[in-house]
Amino acid sequence: MPTEKTKMLDGEPYDASDPELVAEREHARTLTRQYNATDETDHERRNELLDELLGSVGEDCHVEPPFRCDYGDNIHVGENFYANVDCVVLDVCRVDIGRNCLLGPGVHVYTATHPIDAAERAEGLESGEPVTIGDDVWIGGRAVIDPGVTVGDGAVVGSGAVVTEDVPAGVVVKGNPAEIVTEID
């Protein structure tokens, strides 16, 4: 019988009140609280906390506090990653972010989702879909990346965009819902 965590990671409906999942979220909250309380010059401590919190961290990774996530260990970032202040990653499923990626202030990345049907939602089960962000991507401030989305290499997501569908490589998207506005040479 699969555990609630296994179901969650596989994108199947799961019970978020499962004690194992609650404990893991509490652990992530402890680490993010500690991270968000670090002094801006304490680079070594920040690196230690990110290494413990995130699933994998490339070289030269910078996350400006405050930062929030659900579990942390489902987040994998490549080298030369930068996230500005107030970023949120709801990582009930895997989030892969490539190398040389920039997240503007207040970017939200969601893997968590809920049933559309109200009766099913009332039952309390949740699910998720992984998110993949390619290499050399820039996501502007206050943009939202929805569950199940892939953002292709070299893409740019404009500030405030709500990305509900996959973004091809080498394009700029803007708006709500995000639409391609130009191709990048």
Cα 74 to chain centroid distance, Å, stands at: 9
76 is catalytic: no
CATH 2.160.10.10 applies to domain 4-183: yes
- Tokens standing for 49? 């906390």
Reported residue count of the chain is 185
Q: How do the domains of the chain map onto residue ranges?
A: 4-183
Closest CA to 133 of 123, 143, 145, 122: 145
Out of 43, 76, 108, 114, pick the active-site residue: 114
Residue 35 has phi, psi (to 5 degrees) of: -60, -45
Residue 27 phi, psi dihedral angles, 5° rounding: -60, -45
Please report the pLDDT score of residue 185 as a whole number: 83
Per residue in 88-144, pLDDT (tens digit) is 999 999 999 999 999 999 999 999 999 999 998 999 999 999 999 999 999 999 999
Q: Dump pLDDT digits (tens) for 163-173.
A: 999 999 999 99
Q: What is the dihedral of CA 116, 72, 76, 125, to 10 degrees?
A: -20
